[in-house]
Structure 1
């Protein structure tokens, strides 16, 4: 349902990933004139080949008390799923210290509650979009199984599940045998995990396909796109941004939305604003499901291996396998060791799902805040007409449409929230 704004404006959205495009969709429906600018094509960044899981009801903030006992491994082990490469970078150190300060039970509980609320808004908005447009995005709602290798990790998961149940999530703690009843392709793995949490309502979809479909829909509705066009700077006069500078010329607008992922920090810094976002590098591979694969070979349900921190998502006739979180700066190189680890994990989990002939490797930078909450709205002391929509970490696809609702609300004349309310500007 469209909610016309009482004061339609020209809004310039910086970024054509899933977050920027979801925002463009919502604002165009409010009656705003919209321009989208990006240095690449739609969905080219962290949206291109992410984990594909839509985790609306089961979230586990990265900033968790368990991080403290894992620190030696994170710093020293080459095969750790969370890797920290210390650099001569004051921003990395400041972000890391803020992250460790957020690894407290009280902070994790608060973050969980806020993420679940935002995810519920996002699910509703994305469901509405799909119902209205019938876009082809390999969407499925088959649920998610998170597998835990030890009794201790399973106990911690049940504690998190109890917290989320109070907040409205429907989940079940299952034995390995019960998992196989839901996902037969796990039948050979029952001795490798102690138990699992099953969330029946969880979904998966191809984020890149969603981005491409949104671009087509938005162009048909009159939205202007400047792709392969980097934003080289923003011009501020007093309390307002008046233009975005690009090689194609200046773009003037009444309001600007910063949805450039990790690139948002650079533009914010040029305006004297501190944005607590650091890139978390992640990897994925995409494999074709083998012809004739039956229910005991290829998974239909989304699966997360909590021990290795690797996710498996069925998107049509492909299997997306994603994982790792590296704090290594703006390094987009694809590590062969990380890709080999994803291939090895897939061979262990689902050896008959694919022939492993064509492995499509990918690496991307996910914009993360120390607490794990996105930055939504104005920054303190920032221009009144510059809104931020970034810092979603590994939940960009999950939270994109809910975040767009917050930006739309912020652009209504009676609402001018500052980002520190929901997000992580205080980190």
Structure 2
């Protein structure tokens, strides 16, 4: 079957990779180069075992501080946008224990299959992507945070995750670079099996390998709409030549909502704007972390990728605003100095912003949507977990195409 994948981010590329391996003829379409959207400068963590959704009951108690504090990692700029308001209402409705437990179980199951598929890809093409498997620490500054984390760990243990709560001193034994932050750590979650990699490099390596295997890339091309005939999409309408195929997978991140409307469905995906900086670090032991670290209070993640440190965080509901305010980059630099004060010199930080395609519950949208063309499948809405879930999502797209018998 000829399948056209709309999107050359990590989710779209993983989908194209899997479909090509299944024997399909694949075309990838995007207006940008592979990995240049939300994938390019993401947090670099592959969080297969710790997937607590953003929509969590704890949001209610944190909300005043998160919304009102000048340096808050969460920012909301209300707009005359029905999608933003609808998304926000549905997100707050999802911030309850029952929905959070259900979302956690589904995300963990998807992450487990994604780990297996990602490792199969690595075994196949051995990508140069600064991969590491040094584990992850999620830090908490208060006893209340520790207890909430303990409940999440207990839940995830019943679902097969291997994690444990550790003390501040145990954190330092696991990651000595945290010594200067010892007094701010009330406890942490340690997941020894977690990994990290440079997602942009993975995207480039996938493109290279797929081109060599016959996958066609149509880049620098904007999708304008669809040519529908008898309930099926026959071709994409683009600003260039039409692209014909037998089936279509929409994996265009935040643009999936616009394209969904053209197909007659509402796709509840809204851009969750995030930022990152990338620093060159000293290779000396203890100079910079080798274990991935998440500071839960700051909502900032630190991941070692080769001789660089990726620092990423924040979540802004501000529409499709791709500006990079200096204050947000300063916040990430300040967080780096606070957590790792031994990193004395912060030079060129390579500032980046990306629009994470988020659903209110945190669960991605994978599969056919009722009322749309019978040969169209969606693969979008992964939020901050796109890198983690990409290859597992690709497996489900393959299953969905088989079910549709397109």
1:130-188 superposed Cα distances (whole Å, 9 cap, x missing partner):
01111111000000000000000010000000000010000010000001001000112
1:206 aligns with 2:198: yes
1:103-129 superposed Cα distances (whole Å, 9 cap, x missing partner):
110000000000000000000000011
Counterpart-to-counterpart distance in 2, 1:237 and 1:75: 47
1:91 aligns with 2:79: no
Counterpart-to-counterpart distance in 2, 1:249 and 1:35: 13
Aligned counterparts, 1:286-305, within 5 A = 286-290=278-282, 293-305=283-295
CA RMSD for the aligned pairs? Answer: 1.1
Gaps of 5+ in 1: 1-8, 418-427
1:54 aligns with 2:42: no
Alpha carbons 2:250, 2:377 under 8 Å: kept = yes
- What residue in structure 2 maps to residue 218 of structure 1? 210
Aligned counterparts, 1:2-401, within 5 A = 9-290=1-282, 293-353=283-343, 355-401=345-391
> 1:294: how far off?
2.3
- SS of 2:361's equivalent in the other structure is coil
Counterpart-to-counterpart distance in 2, 1:394 and 1:234: 29
- SS of 2:223's equivalent in the other structure is coil
1:78-127 superposed Cα distances (whole Å, 9 cap, x missing partner):
21111111111111000100001111100000000000000000000000
Q: After the TM superposition, which of the residue ranges 65-74 and 111-120 deviates more from structure 2?
A: 65-74
CA, structure 1 residues 263+68, in 2 after alignment: closer, same or farther (shift >3 Å)?
same
- SS of 2:214's equivalent in the other structure is coil
> 1:239: how far off?
1.7
1:391-426 superposed Cα distances (whole Å, 9 cap, x missing partner):
0000000000000000011112xx239xxxxxxxxx
- What residue in structure 2 maps to residue 403 of structure 1? 393
Counterpart-to-counterpart distance in 1, 2:51 and 2:164: 14
CA, structure 1 residues 12+354, in 2 after alignment: closer, same or farther (shift >3 Å)?
farther
Q: After the TM superposition, which of the residue ranges 94-103 and 230-239 deviates more from structure 2?
A: 230-239
Counterpart-to-counterpart distance in 1, 2:74 and 2:388: 21
1:31-50 superposed Cα distances (whole Å, 9 cap, x missing partner):
11100000010001000000
Counterpart-to-counterpart distance in 1, 2:369 and 2:61: 34
Counterpart-to-counterpart distance in 1, 2:83 and 2:68: 21
- SS of 1:283's equivalent in the other structure is strand
Give the alignment's TM-score, normalised by structure 2. 0.98
Alpha carbons 1:74, 1:84 under 8 Å: kept = no
Alpha carbons 2:180, 2:342 under 8 Å: kept = no
Counterpart-to-counterpart distance in 2, 1:306 and 1:76: 18
Alpha carbons 1:374, 1:389 under 8 Å: kept = yes
- SS of 2:351's equivalent in the other structure is strand
Counterpart-to-counterpart distance in 2, 1:234 and 1:294: 54
- SS of 2:67's equivalent in the other structure is helix
> 1:252: how far off?
0.7
- The aligned length equals 405
Counterpart-to-counterpart distance in 1, 2:63 and 2:198: 33
Alpha carbons 2:15, 2:393 under 8 Å: kept = yes
Counterpart-to-counterpart distance in 2, 1:239 and 1:73: 49
- SS of 1:379's equivalent in the other structure is coil
1:2-25 superposed Cα distances (whole Å, 9 cap, x missing partner):
xxxxxxx10000000000000000
* Runs of 4+ residues deviating >6 angstroms: none
Counterpart-to-counterpart distance in 1, 2:83 and 2:356: 16
